[in-house]
Amino acid sequence: MLAFILRRVLIAIPTLILVSIFVFGLQKLLPGDPILVMAGEDRDPAVIEFLREKYRMNDPIPMQYLYWAGDVLRGDLGISLRTNQPVTELIASKLPVTIQLAIMAMIFALLIGIPTGILSAVRKGTWVDWLANVVALSGLSIPNFWLGIMLILLVSVNLGWLPASGYESPWVDPVKSLTTMIMPAFVLGTGLAATLMRHTRSAMLGVLQADYVRTAEAKGLRRNTVILKHAFRNAVLPVITLSALLFGELLAGAVLTEQIFTIPGFGKLIVDAVFNRDYAVVQGVVLCTAIGFIGMNLLADVLYVLLNPKLRALS
């Protein structure tokens, strides 16, 4: 098993190197010369030359990349132009907020998506199945920022049940943290719930026709036991690995959700950085998201092997 994990980590390394080249290349897309912008209105040639040397802009681009990648490997993602803080520090302070949001969204998605998927497969062809499919398609088609706005309008503005914005750490005030995050987590989890529902349904439909399920039914076992103990345990495997993959997507989806509910997380950090032309932060966020995404892919692969006895034996 360890050898399998090591092999997967080794395979991920070239991908990470390519991602880093791409993220480094992003700054080359910037129109104009960034050094001239940094030099201010005077554009003193001495200052320009000093800045070029400082930021190694006189070196060939491959050398610039190697210096940059070396800094990144040492955990140095540069300094934020806006706050003058190290980008790594900024990301480390915002990431826990987004991870909390993503975990809560994932809980919502699993609680909604999996039972609905099972029910839809078991009642295939009935109105329950039709309704579940319509809801899933709507969940996939609804822009989550609009759902967020509509929920604020209904739950916060009209009913006054939950706060429309804000954030509190769960370590400081767990109840307030829960009340401020419940709506954003639901919004973020909706699309994911729809995807999980569709996959659970299709996995369950495949399993429900398998011989061992028919045998279990023929033995006279209760329908619920057959569905939950025999069918679901086998159908859930791809769904769990898919959840790990989709967790990475949640980090991206959080950008808009955090913007609507004014949550000071990772997503809001990238948006603020974009508007303040804080490109080091934008690069840092993209790189960290990609690393997280690759990490979740790795976890999905490992989980798939761990949970599948046949593959476990092979590995």
Partner 1 sequence: MTAVVTTPARTSSRAWKKLRANKSALVGACIVAVFVVLALLAPMLPIADPTGTDWGAIRKAPSLKAWMGTDEIGRDVLARMIWGAQASLLAGVVSVLIAVVVGVPFGLVAGYFGGWTDSIISRCTEALLAMPFLILAIALAAFLGPSLTNAMIAIGLSAVPIFIRLTRGQVLAVKTEDYVEGARAIGLGHIRIMTRYILPNVFPPILVQATLTIATAIIAEASLSFLGLGQQPPAPSWGSMLNTAKNFLSQAPWMAIWPGAAIFLVVIGFNLMGDGLRDALDPREH
- Applying CB under 8 A, which residues contact partner 1? 14-15, 18-19, 21-22, 26-27, 29-31, 137-138, 140-143, 145-146, 149-150, 152-153, 157, 248-249, 251-253, 255-256, 259-260, 270-271, 273-275, 279, 282-283, 285-286, 289-290, 293-294, 297
Shortest Cβ 302–partner 1 spacing (Å):
17
What is the torsional sign of CA 228, 188, 172, 292? positive
CB 187 within 8 A of CB 148: yes
Shortest Cβ 293–partner 1 spacing (Å):
5
Shortest Cβ 267–partner 1 spacing (Å):
9
Burial of 123 (0-12, 13-18, 19+ CB in 10 A): middle
Shortest Cβ 98–partner 1 spacing (Å):
12
Shortest Cβ 198–partner 1 spacing (Å):
10
Judged by beta carbon, residue 31 or residue 62, the one nearer partner 1 is: 31
Judged by beta carbon, residue 6 or residue 150, the one nearer partner 1 is: 150
Judged by beta carbon, residue 113 or residue 253, the one nearer partner 1 is: 253
User: Look-up: residue for tokens 């302070």?
Assistant: 93
Q: Where are the alpha helices (DSSP H) in the chain?
A: 2-26, 34-38, 45-54, 61-73, 87-122, 127-141, 144-151, 174-208, 211-218, 223-225, 232-260, 266-275, 279-307, 309-314
- Output the CA torsion 81→85→91→97 (10° steps): -110
Judged by beta carbon, residue 128 or residue 149, the one nearer partner 1 is: 149
User: 29: which DSSP letter?
Assistant: G
Of 138, 35, 106, 98, the residue nearest 271 (C-alpha) = 98
Judged by beta carbon, residue 274 or residue 307, the one nearer partner 1 is: 274
Judged by beta carbon, residue 113 or residue 248, the one nearer partner 1 is: 248
Residue 66 neighbours by CB under 8 Å, 6+ apart: none
Judged by beta carbon, residue 226 or residue 244, the one nearer partner 1 is: 244
Residue 155 neighbours by CB under 8 Å, 6+ apart: 161, 162, 183
Give the integer Cα–Cα distance in Å for 240 and 238. 5
Shortest Cβ 175–partner 1 spacing (Å):
25
Give the integer Cα–Cα distance in Å for 109 and 268. 22
Shortest Cβ 126–partner 1 spacing (Å):
17
Please give the distance of CA 111 from its chain centroid, rounded to a whole number: 18
Judged by beta carbon, residue 26 or residue 111, the one nearer partner 1 is: 26
Shortest Cβ 308–partner 1 spacing (Å):
23
User: 28: which DSSP letter?
Assistant: G
